[in-house]
Amino acid sequence: MTSPSARLPITNASDARKAIASLEKIMDELEQTVTEETARVRAGHFRAAMNLDDTKIKCARLYAAESEHVKAARAAIAKLVPEALDRLRQRHDAFQGLLRTNLTVLATAHAVSEGIIRGVSGELARKQAPSTYGASGRVQPPSSKASPPLAISRTL
């Protein structure tokens, strides 16, 4: 895959088809990577999902650059190969759905892990705080300063 910045402007149908084919090839790899990441996160294999980060970043950069190249020549492509442009639009719509699913799965995993950490921290604070009674005769909730902070490693 060549860098779009190194390409000449699209002036004929062959150039247009090559640009769209290049974008579709990048999209294939990006879709495969995102689908694999989604499956791994759903299965709880977070380390394995993190191993896809470099590939996903590389594909996303290529996708953004190639998309800009095609977008800049949209008028020429629409004249030269309108059917390919329509196919590309449909493909982008499907890709948006895939990305929404991926982001939902990632947000859910983030919320669940955050809830677990908060639960563990609260349980540790509850166990380490002395149980005392207040002036009203009711049990006082533990002070937020009653327990040491919870240390978390950000690497999986």
User: What pLDDT is recorded for position 49?
Assistant: 93
Average pLDDT, the chain: 84
User: What pLDDT is recorded for position 118?
Assistant: 84
User: Which residues constitute the domain of residue 58?
Assistant: 4-126
> Could you give the CA distance from residue 25 to residue 1 in angstroms, rounded to a whole number?
9
pLDDT digits (tens, 9 = 90+) for 51-107: 999 999 999 999 999 999 999 888 888 898 989 888 999 999 999 999 999 999 999
Examine residue 10 and state whether it is found in any structural domain, yes or no: yes
The pTM of the full predicted model, rounded to 2 decimals, is 0.72
Examine residue 152 and state whether it is found in any structural domain, yes or no: no
Q: C-alpha 7: how far from its chain's center?
A: 29
Q: Which residue, among 28, 16, 36, has the nearest Cα to 95 in the 3D structure?
A: 28
**Among residues of the chain, what percentage have pLDDT more than 90?**
49
Region 117-128: what's the mean pLDDT?
Answer: 76
Examine residue 104 and state whether it is found in any structural domain, yes or no: yes
Region 136-149: what's the mean pLDDT?
Answer: 66
> Could you give the CA distance from residue 81 to residue 70 in angstroms, rounded to a whole number?
12
Q: Name the domain count of the chain.
A: 1
**Tokens encoding 125:** 């604070």
Residues 6+ apart with CB under 8 A from 37: 49, 52, 56, 102
| DSSP per-residue codes, 57-78 | HHHHHHHHHHHHHHHHTHHHHH
Examine residue 156 and state whether it is found in any structural domain, yes or no: no
Examine residue 135 and state whether it is found in any structural domain, yes or no: no
Residues in the chain: 156
Query: Is 90 exceeded by the pLDDT of residue 131?
Result: no
Examine residue 89 and state whether it is found in any structural domain, yes or no: yes
Cα 103-55-114 angle, rounded to 5 deg: 35
Examine residue 155 and state whether it is found in any structural domain, yes or no: no
User: What pLDDT is recorded for position 128?
Assistant: 66
Examine residue 131 and state whether it is found in any structural domain, yes or no: no
